[in-house]
């Protein structure tokens, strides 16, 4: 998985990041009075990109397909909503560690159970645990049942009396989310290139061989599961700050399905792909919702089409554009063979069990 990507990947991502970061400069010129609304949408996309990226660690890097990742997203949202004081803002200095601690312990608990399962069993059990928390929250009095919980005050980020970042201001919150996304990205990039990441990559390719080499693969998978959960919970916390409430729907399995969709649309196993996927998904959603009230049909068909014709996602298009593949076909049979085998490797199922 630890490919060296062509230079254009870095160039495209840098340009896009600069474009997004400069939105306050060009937003008003393009969207006029809609600029504030668009800023909110953009902030949400940044948050969802972090969420999708956290799932990539599980699905793309380790090869564990989770259909319950929304559990952690919702957990972050509810931890923030329930731990926030009613009449004053919480401090980010203890809220962030709290969210990370809660999600890590629940991730550890669930992880111990689900890591024992493989392949399709892992999909089903993660889904079932996600729904378990969903039903628990949506029938609990203290968590507001199906209505969810409102967050009266966003947490503050201050040293003493001095505010570092005013999270109530949409512009500074936008940059705060962008910062979190970048931290998440560079963290995952570092993690996947570290020794730990190499082992995860080995597990993805052939778990039995890694076990034969003496690696306790369950432990590695469990740690990856917990890390992915903590990152998703941070994204969930940011989402709850953005929405101003925590809602059971954030925990539901439709959210888990949507984030998987972002992952596949962007290109899994690439870390940067899910970011593109989250943006693409939200933009498509925005267009479909405006086109028809029956937008789920369009979204469903888009998902089906993406699975059938674009299994490597947008990232796959950037890394190996169709025209380049064609050129290889014409004048370099050896390169073609190599590329074909690489393509097969990343799209075919790895034997499990």
Partner 1 sequence: MDLAFFSVQLLNGLQYGLLLFLIASGLTLIFGIMGIINLAHGAMYMIGAYLVYDLNLRLGNFWLAIMVAIPIAIALGLIIERLFLDTLYKRDHLYQVLLTFGLILVLNEAQRIIWGGDVHRVPVPAPFDASIQLTDNLQYSVYRLFVMGVCLALAGVIYWVIRHTKLGIIIRAGAVNRDMVEGLGINVRTLFTLIFSVGVALTAFAGMIAAPLTSIAPGMGDNILITCFVVVVIGGIGSIKGAFWGAIIIGMATTFGAVLIPSLASMVIYLIMAAVLLVKPRGLFA
Cα angle vertex 51, ends 146, 69, to 5°? 60
Which span sits near partner 1 by CB under 8 A: 75-83, 253-261, 271-279, 326-334?
Answer: 253-261
Structure-block tokens of residue 237: 């916390």
Which span sits near partner 1 by CB under 8 A: 7-15, 87-95, 300-308, 333-341?
Answer: 300-308
- Cβ distance to partner 1 smaller for residue 88 or 139: 139
Least distance between partner 1 and beta carbon 33 (Å) = 32
How many residues touch partner 1 (CB under 8 A)?
A: 44
Instruction: Write out the DSSP string of 155-171.
Output: -BEEETTEEEE-TTSHH
Q: Any alpha helices (H) in 3-64, and if so which ranges?
A: 7-21, 23-31, 35-56
Angle between helix 119-138 and 253-266 (nearest 10)? 130
Using CA of residue 217, residue 65, residue 105, residue 99, what is the dihedral sign? positive
- Cβ distance to partner 1 smaller for residue 155 or 313: 313
Asked if residue 122 lies in contact with residue 219, where contact means CB atoms within 8 angstroms, the answer is no
Please give the DSSP secondary-structure letter assigned to residue 1: -
308 binds partner 1 (CB under 8 A): yes
| Residue 150 CB contacts under 8 Å (≥ 6 apart), including other chains | 81, 244, 245
Residues within window 175-194 making contact with partner 1, judged by CB under 8 A: none
Residues within window 47-66 making contact with partner 1, judged by CB under 8 A: 59, 65
Q: Judging by beta carbons within 10 Å of its beta carbon (0-12, 13-18, 19+), is residue 17 exposed, middle or buried?
A: middle
Phi, psi of 149 (to 5 degrees): -125, 140
- Cβ distance to partner 1 smaller for residue 84 or 250: 250
Least distance between partner 1 and beta carbon 114 (Å) = 8
Least distance between partner 1 and beta carbon 301 (Å) = 6
Give the H or E element holding residue 246: strand 245-246
Structure-block tokens of residue 290: 């405006």
Binding mask 104-123 for partner 1 (x = CB under 8 A): ---------xx-xx-xxx-x
Closest CA to 263 of 64, 100, 130, 124: 64
304 binds partner 1 (CB under 8 A): yes
CA distance 236 to 173: 15
291 binds partner 1 (CB under 8 A): no
124 binds partner 1 (CB under 8 A): yes
Least distance between partner 1 and beta carbon 187 (Å) = 24
- Cβ distance to partner 1 smaller for residue 102 or 114: 114
Choosing from 297, 332, 335, 340, the residue that interacts with partner 1 (CB under 8 A) is: 297
Which span sits near partner 1 by CB under 8 A: 93-101, 224-232, 277-285, 342-350?
Answer: 342-350
Half-sphere exposure in the Cβ direction for 240 (13 Å, CA): 37
Closest CA to 123 of 59, 206, 201, 54: 59
- Cβ distance to partner 1 smaller for residue 244 or 300: 300
- Cβ distance to partner 1 smaller for residue 7 or 294: 294
Residues in the chain: 353
Asked if residue 303 lies in contact with residue 221, where contact means CB atoms within 8 angstroms, the answer is no
- Cβ distance to partner 1 smaller for residue 71 or 199: 71
Least distance between partner 1 and beta carbon 231 (Å) = 19
Least distance between partner 1 and beta carbon 55 (Å) = 11
Give the residues lining the site for partner 1 (CB under 8 A).
59, 65, 67, 113-114, 116-117, 119-121, 123-125, 127-129, 131-132, 135-136, 139, 253, 257, 260-261, 264, 268, 294, 296-297, 299-304, 306-308, 311, 347-350
């Amino acid at each position: 998985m630890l490919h060296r990507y062509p230079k254009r990947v870095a160039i495209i991502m840098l340009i896009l990041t600069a474009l997004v970061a400069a939105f306050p400069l060009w937003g008003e010129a393009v969207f006029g009075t809609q600029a504030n609304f668009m800023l909110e949408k953009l902030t949400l996309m940044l948050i969802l990109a972090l969420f999708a990226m956290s799932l990539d660690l599980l699905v793309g890097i380790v090869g564990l397909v989770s259909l319950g990742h929304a559990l952690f997203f919702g957990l972050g949202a509810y931890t923030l909503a329930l731990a926030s004081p009613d009449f004053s803002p919480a401090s980010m200095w203890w809220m962030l560690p709290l969210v990370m601690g809660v999600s890590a312990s629940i991730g550890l608990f669930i992880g111990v159970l689900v890591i024992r399962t493989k392949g399709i069993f892992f999909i089903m059990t993660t889904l079932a645990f996600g729904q378990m928390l969903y039903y628990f929250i949506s029938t609990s009095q203290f968590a507001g049942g199906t209505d969810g919980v409102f967050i009266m005050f966003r947490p503050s980020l201050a040293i003493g009396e001095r505010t570092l970042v005013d999270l109530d201001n949409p512009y500074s919150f936008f940059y705060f989310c962008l910062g979190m996304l970048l931290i998440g990205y560079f963290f995952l990039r570092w993690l996947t290139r570290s020794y730990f990441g190499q082992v995860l990559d080995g597990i993805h390719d052939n778990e039995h061989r890694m076990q034969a080499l003496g690696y306790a693969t369950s432990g590695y998978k469990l740690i990856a599961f917990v890390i992915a959960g903590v990152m998703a919970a941070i994204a969930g916390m940011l989402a709850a700050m953005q929405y101003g409430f925590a809602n059971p729907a954030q925990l539901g399995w439709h959210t888990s399905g949507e984030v998987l969709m972002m992952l596949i649309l962007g290109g899994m196993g690439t870390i940067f792909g899910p970011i593109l996927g989250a943006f693409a998904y939200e933009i498509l959603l925005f267009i479909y919702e405006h086109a028809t009230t029956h937008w789920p049909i369009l979204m469903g068909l888009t998902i089906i089409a993406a699975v059938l014709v674009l299994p490597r996602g947008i990232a796959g298009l950037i890394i190996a554009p169709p025209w380049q593949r064609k050129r290889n076909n014409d004048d370099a049979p050896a390169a073609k063979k190599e590329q074909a085998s690489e393509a097969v490797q990343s799209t075919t199922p790895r034997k499990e069990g």
